[in-house]
Amino acid sequence: MNELTNLIKTEIKKQFRSVRQFSMYIGVPQSTIITALQKGVGGTSFETVMLMCKVLNIKPVPGDNPVFLDGEKRELLDRYARLDDSGKKAVRALAAVELLRVTDEAAYAELSKKLAAAEAEPVVEA
């Protein structure tokens, strides 16, 4: 299942007691929503998906890799925006390391060894 389907499913659970209540609130048949959540929203009409996103306060961000902003991602972006340049640089560096960890295990292991070696070296003060 894709990220958007999972995000919609999660937000319905958070914001509404049930799919039934959500469907009544937005005026879309419950069967339509259940099918979308089971099979993925890709087969659901664009208008219905956009209505669900609007009601659930999910914002799509255009790009090559679509991102859908929920409360957690918005909070992260808000915090990032309030950082100074040094803080933003630190966050970008950490994000690069974490991306390496989940995408290239060998490169991450090598980086971890280098960091461990650097930490073991004594600090020389001038």
Residues 17 and 54 in one domain: yes
For the chain, helix, strand, coil in percent to 5 are 75, 5, 20
Structural domain harbouring 11: 3-69
Question: Looking at the 3D structure of the chain, how many domains does it have?
Answer: 2
Q: What pLDDT shows up at residue 74?
A: 82
Specify whether 43 is located in the same domain as 95: no
For residues 55 and 111, membership in a common domain is answered with no
pLDDT given at position 121: 81
Q: Are residues 65 and 90 in the same domain?
A: no
Q: Kindly state whether residues 110 and 59 are assigned to the same domain.
A: no
Q: Is 17 helix (H, G, I), strand (E, B) or coil?
A: coil
What is the rounded distance in angstroms from the CA atom of residue 110 to the CA atom of residue 114? 6
pLDDT score, position 82:
93
Task: Please identify every stretch of the chain with a pLDDT value under 50, giving residue numbers as ranges.
Answer: none
Residue 77 lies in a domain: no
Tokens of 100: 């390496």
Record the tokens describing residue 30, joined without a space.
């419950």
CATH number for 27: 1.10.260.40
Residue 43 is assigned to a structural domain of this protein: yes
Q: Could you tell me if residue 76 is inside a domain? A: no
